[in-house]
Structure 1
Amino acid sequence: MASKLVIIIVFVFDLIAFGLAVAAEQRRSKAKVVHDQDYNYDYCRYDSDIATGFGAGAFLFLLISQIFIMVASRCFCCGKPLSPGGSRACAIILFLICWLCFFIAEICLLAGSVRNAYHTRYKTFSDIDPISCATLRKGVFAAGAAFIFLTALVSEFYYISYSKARDSFQPYAGRETGVGMGTYK
């Protein structure tokens, strides 16, 4: 039977990670070109950098959630063997999809956080060359949030399928291993 405590803890961590990723998307850095009258040059002025912290927080909460679900399921490769059947096949497929979605989400969150923290220091002294302020593209943290949601969904189903396959396994209980031919003499 799947542990309800594990499912609830993983859900809460994934929910926090999702919320932080959505907040990071809404609060990503924006830049304005500002003209300095005293020295006659243009430069980029960035607003708050809170989205970097939100993205890093989402990264960490998703990582903790994934570690927790893998420890609870013994990373699918350690512990008792699983009983053959549909639950084991489903658990294997969901395990692979879970890791794929996890890696994509982590890449989006990490790349978004790093890129959002990068503030250019361009200055231009000419009106011919317009200044370009580097900012994070719209949707990077949103893609991370979408893959967090998929990771959460798939990891919950993976753990339930894994638990079902693990609990239904019946090891060899001292029965005869060969084909019984004693009655056919």
Structure 2
Amino acid sequence: MAVSVPILAVVTSLHLLAFVFAFGAERRRSTALIAPDQYDDQTFCKYGTAASTVYGMSAFVLLLVSQAVVNGVTKCLCCGKGLVTGASYTVCAIVFFVVSWVSFLGAEACLLAGSAKNAYHTKSKGVYQEGKTLSCAVLPVGVFAAGAALTLMSLIATVLYLLAHSKADTGGWEKHHDDGIGMTAAAPSADAPKQQQNTDFDKV
């Protein structure tokens, strides 16, 4: 399988967009303040924007699509044509395949968990005591940032996996197949001596 520039461009673009959305989700995390109600006798959790959830889910979907494209092209390493056994490119392809999947699953877990946690808003109220009666649930710092970092790791591993796979995939089968065709074409025919004798006889 030759390296496809359009496939590399699509995969890289989707990963980079996912990274941008994940980074934006970290910057726009929902914050909460304990505020008194209009009568100043109870407090409640007042949350900010929920844009981080939208950004996180967008990054989740983009990363999922990119991984689907890669594994669709390479047949998930296992279902395509055979790799060259024992070649260095085959070892590299397997290593980068594992790293890309581990980083992909880690990034998806961070993005999904972060989006769900960011969307959760505490609804309870408490008696007003200088804002200390409630514990407003918010997303911890760094969840989306970890997803963004793993997205970059997934991008690097995926690109290297595609390059290594393009060097190793189908090499063994196609090489032997071509060698067989060449040997068949070069093999002399049994009738060749007779044809040569007939030609010499005609000349005489």
After TM superposition, the score normalised by the length of structure 2 is 0.82
| 8 A Cα contact 2:21 2:59, kept in partner | yes
Report the alpha carbon displacement of residue 18 of structure 1 after superposing the two structures with TM: 0.3
Q: Does 1:90 align with 2:92?
A: yes
What is the CA deviation profile of residues 106-156 of structure 1, one whole-angstrom value per residue up to 9, with x for unaligned ones?
Answer: 000000000000000121115285211110000000000000000010000
> Helix, strand or coil: the match of 1:22?
helix
Q: Structure 1 stretches of 5 or more lacking a match?
A: 177-185
What letter is aligned with 1:160? L
The structure with the largest helix share of the pair is: 2
What letter is aligned with 1:89? V
Give the one of 106, 127, 131 matched to 2:134. 131
> Helix, strand or coil: the match of 1:171?
helix
Which residue in 1 is equivalent to 2:191? none
After superposing the two structures, state which structure 1 stretch, 45-54 or 125-134, moved more: 125-134
| 8 A Cα contact 2:29 2:52, kept in partner | yes
What letter is aligned with 2:171? S
What is the CA deviation profile of residues 35-78 of structure 1, one whole-angstrom value per residue up to 9, with x for unaligned ones?
Answer: 11426100000011000000000000000000001011111011
The 2-side partners of 1:82 and 1:171 are apart by 13
Q: Give the number of equivalent residue pairs.
A: 176
Which residue in 1 is equivalent to 2:143? 140
Give the one of 157, 160, 182 matched to 1:157. 160
CA RMSD of aligned residues (A): 1.7
| 8 A Cα contact 2:42 2:127, kept in partner | yes
Spell out the pairing of 1:29-108 with structure 2 (5 A cutoff).
Answer: 29-38=30-39, 40-84=41-85, 85-108=87-110
- Could you tell me the percent identity over the aligned residues? 38
Q: Which structure has the greater CA radius of gyration?
A: 2
After TM superposition, the score normalised by the length of structure 1 is 0.90
